[in-house]
Amino acid sequence: MTQKPKLLTITLLACLSLAQGQTIPNGLLFQNELEQESRDLSWLARDVAGDSLSDSHSSRTDGRTRRTHPIDNIYRQNSHIRRTMEDLENEMPYYQTGVRGDPEFRVSYKNHPFDRLRVEREAAAGGDEQHRNLQDESETTTEQTNPFKPIRIHFDTSALDAERTSSNGQKVDFVKNIILPRMSDFWSSALSVVPVEGNLLISTADLQGRVYCGDSEFAKVPSNHISTGVPDTDLVLYVSGTPSTRFCGPSTLAVAVACNFDQFDRPIAGAVNFCLDQIEIDDDGTASDSIIDDNVDVAIHECAHVLGMSSNSYRFFWDPDTGLPRTYRPFEARTVVCVNGKEMTLILPSDNTMKFFIATNGQRYASIVTPKVATVARNQFDCQELNGAQLENQPTGENSCTGDHWDERMFYPELLSGVISPTTNYLSPLTLALLEDSGWYMANYTKSNVSPWGHGVGCDFVSSPCLVGGGNGRDGSVPSYGKGFFCNKASSRGCSPGATHKMACTVIDYSLRGSSVPDSQFQYFSDSGIGGPREGDYCPVYGSVYSGYKAEELDCRISSNNNAIDVIYSEQYGENSMCFETTSGEGRCYNARCIYEDFNLQLQVDGKWYTCNEDFAQIPVSTLSGAFGTTVTCPRLSSVCPDMFCPANCAGRGNCVFPDGTSSNSYGSENATRPRCECFDTSDTSAGCSDTFVLDGKYLRDGSGLTDKIKTSFFEPLIAVFVDHPDTWTTASWAWAAALFVVFLLMILCICSSFWPEKEKKSPQMKRYAV
């Protein structure tokens, strides 16, 4: 096809898109035809995030779309709130000493493993025949049945209901009827505990003023919870909705803290406060799926802090093998140099739980080094030399020594990192491993999702810079181990880490924000004020929306995101679609499947299936029934199909063995060997050392059912725009369509007229004049 008909078709499609009220992304009309690798979007490079860092919407300045960075920061912009939560914990003598305020308080359990281990120790030490009999009885009962059952969560929402007004009533109902049940369903399916026998009693010794859970502005514990207890419950969450600025800021949706503990230090009660002003719902009280997911993600995140993911909780962990605390009691303060370089004297967990290290760039950090956490971290990155999983080295609390979250640079999309991503958040095996290592829970790893971030890449991803060769007047470049994760140009458009969304590169000019510029060890650009998000050690990632879109509108998994312009690239949005980098200049959405037996990825473009057999392979594809051509870049298989590698990172119960070459791009070939779990229990032959791999629509056993579709004619997509949903067109849309039809006829008439025969023209006769 010649150039003019192609451009004519693109112009018609653009006009049709406008007729339907759709927007046209910057640079869209010609980028595919020119196959340009980059566009002149330098005006994006100095975008100022400012306080809009948590805003997923875009603003327009001087007719141009300014990207915002849709990263919902839980505590960073309101670090005083995290400090307030830490102060609540530190005010409790229990947190400072590890000694119970009421030593007689005990929760009733049947066949608790720690009771059994205590009996064994006492029997071994004293040779008491009675203890031996108890030991034998306990062992028999334990062997007959697994004492762990799904955790039962009870919500007391009386304090939340007390905040109800005519203006926020729908938000209160949204929390009670949508957020809390979904959060409870998740944790009940993800974690099991030894169930409480009888009613769960609440001890007044750990309550503020002996009546409040956490703080007097949160919930007051009902007296019957103290006297008679709560039936059929393993954890009580007291839910409140105070708007106090002590706990609510411009970007804080919720906060949480534990306020009661059993004799094994397991949290049995906690407070969760929702900042109702930060909840965005429609006028009718409903919300989009993406808004619901975001709110539920934050609720799950906050509940995890109650369950044990907190800097003040690590010291209370118990060793499940010995039935003893990992940190001896009473606690003793020690002086350490914290991750911010400041020296502090404070209570910290034992070195068998958390240790300090220094990175190759000189940055100090702390890591959780418990057994399952260390194993999962090593398997995540294919780096068996790791000591554990790194905590945030830029804590969200102003005076925090180690932080309450996983490090953003190492675990960017993890739900329990310090930042909630606008795209996809992964409650990964790492967080479940941490909670298991507390000694209080047994995890169901089928409820976790292996994070795509750095998965199977190797130790360089962990220990080396995200950009290399930067600073000193030069911009850094993306190394091979950072490909698909990091970027170095604000004009770059690609895909989110898990290939779920189209995203733009997040590059921020901190000098324009009035903020301190990146430290010397985080200098990646010629301009010292330029860097990525602060929480991620200033590493630029694909984490910004663009062209006026919201994050949900760039989600490849939402079928309604298809628009008229997408037919140019034969894009297909849907439940099993993924984002692929292309030479069109930005990510494109295509139907895709992970093929388990073939150990490869297949994608469908314009009805035809293509196979990715190598990371970053370039596959030429035709779009719009062969009218156009572009090139698709295959992603890292370990990122988009992580469960085809060691499922759930072997659940912390084995090592993931990556054969040579597997983690460096070779897969799907005849000689490739699938990574596998070598379980510590040699009798365990499961794929992930637990029940961890479930085939779904994204994963297929084989590709036998994937057949090419008959291609449509070139004009079929154009006709479909008119005929698919005529009932949704407005009068203005029909006027546009009619005008376009007239223009189209005139263009056809003009083209045809050029072929019509012309009448012979007579030459003018010369007049003769007499001389």
Which of the residues are catalytic?
302
743/723 Cα distance (integer angstroms): 19
Which residues are within 8 A (CB) of 287 and not within 5 positions of it... i.e. 6 or more apart?
A: 174, 178, 280, 281, 295
Euclidean distance between CA atoms 665 and 614, whole angstroms: 5
Helical spans, DSSP H, in 464-540 = 510-513
Which DSSP helix (H) or strand (E) runs through 11? helix 3-19
Quickly count: other Cβ atoms within 10 Å of residue 463's Cβ. Answer: 15
Running DSSP on this structure, what letter comes out for residue 453?
A: T
Return d(Cα 102, Cα 95) in angstroms, integer.
14
Of 539, 520, 400, 525, nearest to 462 by C-alpha is: 539
Q: What span, in angstroms and rounded, lies between the C-alpha atoms of 148 and 158? A: 30
Amino acid identity for residue 233 in this structure: T
Q: For the chain, what is the radius of gyration of the CA atoms? A: 30
Partners of 419 in the β-ladder: 73
DSSP state of 179: I
Q: Which residues pair with 577 in a beta bridge?
A: 591
Q: 283 CB contacts (<8 Å, ≥6 apart)?
A: none
Distance CA 603, CA 601 (A): 7
Residue with tokens 């939560």, as numbered in its chain: 85
154 marked as part of a ligand binding site: no
Q: Are strands 699-700 and 587-595 parallel, antiparallel or unpaired?
A: parallel
Q: Which of these, 382, 331, 336, 390, lies nearest to 359 by C-alpha position?
A: 390
Give the Cα separation of 191 and 201 in Å (integer). Answer: 21
Beta bridge partners of 612: 601
Beta carbons of 500 and 423 less than 8 angstroms apart = yes
Distance CA(122)–CA(137), nearest Å, equals 15
CB 695 within 8 A of CB 672: no
What span, in angstroms and rounded, lies between the C-alpha atoms of 235 and 266?
10
Is the CB of residue 268 less than 8 Å from the CB of residue 260? yes
Do 403 and 397 form a contact (C-beta atoms < 8 A)? Answer: yes
Task: Please report, for residues 111, 251, 432, 443, 444, the alpha-carbon distance to residue 189 in angstroms, rounded to integers and kept in the order given.
Answer: 22, 29, 12, 9, 7
Residue 301, marked binder: yes
Binding residues: 301, 305, 405
Binding residues for Zn(2+): 301, 305, 405
